[in-house]
């Protein structure tokens, strides 16, 4: 092994926390333990079909290793590198608002903590690597279609500037996996695959909830101490660095920061039009990272009530517009989980207020940025934003393309002048507006005379507001294009890559990965990746809504 690959692995989660005393791998309830040791299931013919060079570099894994057979065997679960001590975590969670009891890593196995040359620790986790004690009688495997989506979205979100777990590799296993994609009694055999996910930690809200639900305060406190010492050391007072357990004040500072990080993450989701789809508490990272890319989606036309998850179609609990409220609800469940240790209600409530205040402040800053404003004027800009969002929802309008077109609108030209005398001039100007934004409209027939008038009036208000800032067109476009992406992982693009990959052509996975590395700047000869959803993809499986099946 080269020196870069022999930097090794550590296993502080395993070494410092209580583990499952049962060594056999079978589905069961696991008590008094944060994890169960378990090895990945061997696969017949592991093949790396894509990998992220940035994540490989982060882990000091050279290209020569990533393209070697050893990498495929390791990332496919057939062999372990020195120092790896694989395990699955025990956690619970609220699913769609209801307590679900023990869940755990049912198809994910943590290989260990990679320590890179900078001393950073990164957990490598194989998703789709076989049965664990938490599989609940499932097979613990994953298929190619869901794995492609997870691999691409993990990296796309990172390059968009959204806090997220990362993805190192996508491995075809050479085996077939049976899945009922639509839960309609028609299972099919699909290609099996494994994604290697990477993060400083995969600890979730649900890791704490399970011990609170079982009234296991001893293990709960151990996990809280471990989490803060490992991932939030800046919160620990100097006087308690050597203490056996941390103070209540430190626990409260930690919860406050978790609330803040969670709020910041969700603001980023709203900024780029991302819909997680399954915001259960077991899918909420304690580090404020986007985690578990299942039936996620990206807003095509701006519709706040849209959800990508077929399971959520009736209730729409996890739709785009509900995400801020659900994230706060999840933080409240974490507060309930740590209450047995903290036992101070008012500071926990104050921390939840931190979530609200952080979200509101960051949302205002974010919306000002999307509109190219220097700052958010609470009095005037609230109505400006509210009117805009109503306009976007009034007819099918592509959110991503609308903001890019708004950035390029020439506010300093004769366009946008006050037209009070000549009715034909007014009509020409409104036609100019519609023409400029036409690439963002899904159905031109929806553009009524009333809508033209409304968008014209809004654009006039917007121009006046920009003038107050004294920002010229060039500077405004530059600042707006830094926050409003041009390229996002639209569902139909991911599905096209999946379709090709299932036929043995993995080239589009790499092409999308490359495009999404630079989502804010136009890329020559890649205009097709910035187009709105084609009509054929409106209701096609994988391009509109998805199930939790994978």
- Give the Cα separation of 487 and 272 in Å (integer): 10
Residue tagged active-site, from 105, 216, 256, 282? 282
Distance, in Å, from the CA atom of 340 to the CA atom of 40, rounded to the nearest integer, reads: 35
Contact of 47 with 41, CB cutoff 8 Å? no
The full 3-state SS of 369-396, as one line of letters, equals HHCCCCCCCHHHHHHHHHHHHHHHHHCC
Strand blocks (E) in 106-263:
108-115, 121-127, 166-179, 188-199
Instruction: Give 310-317 contacts, CB < 8 A, sequence gap 24+.
Output: 310/182, 310/183, 310/545, 310/546, 310/547, 310/548, 311/96, 311/547, 311/548, 312/96, 312/277, 312/278, 313/545, 315/96, 317/96, 317/97, 317/279
For 238, the enclosing helix (H) or strand (E) is: none
Within 13 Å, how many C-alpha atoms sit on residue 426's CB side?
14
How far apart CA 366 and CA 359 sit, in angstroms, is: 10
Name 198's bridge partners.
124, 166
CA-to-CA separations, 30 to 23, 139, 282, 474, in angstroms, rounded: 11, 18, 16, 60
| Phi/psi of residue 424, nearest 5 degrees | -65, -35
- Looking only at the bridges linking them, the beta strands covering 98-102 and 121-127 are unpaired
Please tell me the distance from the alpha carbon of residue 89 to that of residue 74, in angstroms, as a whole number.
20
Strands 166-179 and 47-51: antiparallel
Q: How far apart are the first and last CA of the chain?
A: 35
Dist. CA 89–CA 223, nearest whole Å: 12
Residue 292 among the catalytic residues = no
In which residue are the tokens 């009034």 written? 394
Nearest of 177, 167, 168 to residue 145 by alpha carbon: 177
- Name the nearest CA neighbour of 488 among 524, 445, 518: 518
Active site residues: 282
């Amino acid at each position: 092994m080269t020196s870069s690959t022999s930097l090794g692995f550590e296993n502080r989660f395993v070494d410092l926390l209580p583990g499952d005393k049962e060594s056999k791998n079978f589905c069961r309830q696991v008590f008094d333990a944060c994890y169960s040791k378990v090895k990945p299931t061997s696969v017949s013919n592991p093949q790396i079909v894509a990998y992220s060079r940035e994540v490989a570099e982060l882990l000091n894994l050279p290209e020569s290793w990533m393209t070697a057979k050893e990498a495929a065997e390791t990332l496919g679960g057939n062999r372990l590198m020195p120092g790896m001590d694989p395990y699955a975590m025990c956690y619970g969670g609220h699913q769609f608002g209801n307590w679900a009891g023990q869940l755990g890593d049912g198809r994910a196995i943590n290989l260990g903590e990679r320590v890179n040359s900078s001393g950073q620790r990164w957990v490598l986790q194989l998703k789709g690597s076989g049965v664990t004690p938490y599989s609940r009688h499932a097979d613990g495997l994953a298929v190619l279609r869901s794995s492609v989506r997870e691999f691409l979205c993990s990296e796309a979100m990172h390059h968009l500037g959204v806090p997220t777990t990362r993805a190192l590799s996508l491995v075809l296993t050479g085996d077939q996996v049976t899945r009922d994609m639509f839960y309609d009694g028609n299972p099919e055999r699909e290609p099996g695959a494994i994604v290697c996910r990477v993060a400083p930690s995969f600890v979730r809200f649900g890791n704490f909830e399970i011990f609170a639900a079982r009234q296991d305060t001893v293990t709960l406190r151990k996990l809280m101490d471990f989490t803060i010492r490992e991932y939030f050391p800046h919160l620990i007072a100097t006087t308690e660095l050597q203490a056996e357990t941390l103070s209540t004040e430190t626990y409260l500072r930690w919860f406050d920061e978790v609330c803040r990080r969670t709020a910041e993450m969700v603001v980023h989701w709203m900024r780029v039009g991302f819909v997680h789809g399954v915001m259960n508490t077991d899918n909420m990272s304690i580090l404020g990272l986007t985690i578990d890319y299942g039936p996620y989606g990206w807003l095509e036309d701006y519709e706040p009530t849209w959800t990508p998850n077929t399971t959520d179609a009736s209730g729409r609990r996890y739709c785009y517009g509900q995400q801020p409220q659900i994230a706060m609800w999840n933080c409240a469940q974490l507060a309930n989980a740590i209450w047995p240790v903290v036992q101070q209600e008012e500071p926990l409530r104050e921390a939840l207020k931190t979530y609200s205040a952080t979200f509101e402040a960051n949302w205002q800053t974010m919306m000002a940025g999307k509109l190219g404003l220097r700052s958010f004027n609470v009095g005037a800009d609230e109505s400006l934003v509210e009117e805009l969002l109503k306009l976007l929802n009034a007819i099918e309008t592509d959110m991503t393309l609308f903001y890019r077109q708004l950035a390029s609108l020439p506010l300093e030209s004769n366009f946008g002048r006050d037209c009070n005398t000549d009715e034909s001039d007014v009509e020409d100007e409104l036609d100019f507006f519609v023409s400029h934004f036409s690439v963002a409209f899904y159905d031109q027939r929806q553009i009524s005379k009333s809508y033209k008038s409304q968008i014209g009036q809004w654009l006039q208000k917007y121009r006046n507001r920009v003038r107050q800032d004294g920002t010229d067109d060039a500077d405004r476009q530059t600042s707006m294009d830094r926050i409003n992406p041009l390229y996002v992982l639209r569902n139909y693009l991911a599905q096209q890559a999946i379709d090709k990959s299932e036929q043995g052509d993995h080239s589009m996975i790499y092409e999308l990965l490359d495009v999404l590395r630079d989502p804010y700047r136009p890329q020559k000869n890649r205009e097709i990746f910035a187009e709105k959803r084609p009509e054929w993809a409106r209701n096609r499986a994988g391009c509109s809504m998805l199930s939790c099946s994978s």
